[in-house]
Amino acid sequence: MRIHPTALVEDGARLGSDCVIHAHAIITRHVVLGEGVVVHPFAVIGGDPQDLGFQPATESGVVIGDRTVLREHVTVNRATQAGGATRIGADCYLMATAHVAHDGQVGDRVILANQVLLAGHVHVGERAFMGGGAAVHQFCRIGESAMIGGLTRLTRDVPPYCMTTERDELIGLNAIGLRRRGFAPPVIAEVRRAFHAVCRALGNPRALAAAAVASGDYQHPETLRFLDFFASGKRGFVRPRAGTEDSAA
């Protein structure tokens, strides 16, 4: 483990083996870091939530998974409820000035590019990628292997394997990303069929997804995870702009 002399690690913080804490980083007593976590200069991990009703005496925390990298000026706020934790998964990469607000849940192998802003209670699925400057409203969900374009503004949920841009605009299926992840061609074909049945069809996506599951036409676990995403959540779903097709890149 390496901790720079100018870093501040408060008494009570728990750091796994092989962590590296660079100059002027702040790790509060509310933080648990997994093995091999790297925190770059001026990051603040475990600060109080930006919630006007929060009571600082509340015992809550932040948990960072193994081998995650937090670059310069990243901020991750602790949870608002006693016993709760804001969580970042393993093998994530949060680029400079990214912000994860209170009660956020970020899955494994997620990349947040520079200046990504996640409001409170946002959930990001594993292997999602968010482009620079993207901003997400509180309580939104971003599904696994989703790709969010730079400067995107999200106020609705993004289903797994999908790509979005601008404001809540669904622009296609992240087919290339699924191939890079190792999804077999028959799986991608079935996911694409489900995507068109739910996201391209007219009607309520929740009802369309439920009907697709009930039909028994979809068998692969990856497709069923996609369809199951529509059964929960507090917000609506991103919708396509006219004339868009699946990703070719």
Judge contact between 75 and 44, C-beta under 8 A.
Answer: yes
Options 120, 125, 143, 177, the catalytic residue: 120
Distances (CA, A) of 33 to 39, 74, 79, 120, 183: 10, 15, 15, 21, 31
Please provide the distance, in angstroms rounded to a whole number, between the alpha carbons at the two ends of the chain: 40
- Which residues lie closer than 8 Å to 135 by C-beta, 6 or more apart? 116, 117, 119, 152, 153, 154
State the residue for tokens 């374009």. 149
Tell me the backbone φ, ψ of residue 64, rounded to 5 degrees: -115, 130
3 state DSSP class of 100? strand
* Residue 233, number of CB atoms within 10 A of its CB: 16
Q: How many CB atoms lie within 10 A of CB 231?
A: 10
Q: Is 172 assigned a catalytic role? A: no
List, edge to edge, every strand of the sheet that includes 162-165: 2-3, 20-21, 38-39, 69-70, 93-94, 111-112, 129-130, 147-148, 162-165, 169-173, 239-240
Question: Catalytic residue at 120?
Answer: yes
Which residue in 22, 40, 46, 103 is the catalytic one?
A: 103
Q: How far apart are CA 48 and CA 28, in angstroms?
A: 9
Question: Which of 30, 40, 99, 102 is the catalytic position?
Answer: 102
Please name which of 85, 41, 80 lies closest in space to residue 58, comparing C-alpha atoms. Answer: 80
Which positions are catalytic?
A: 102-103, 120
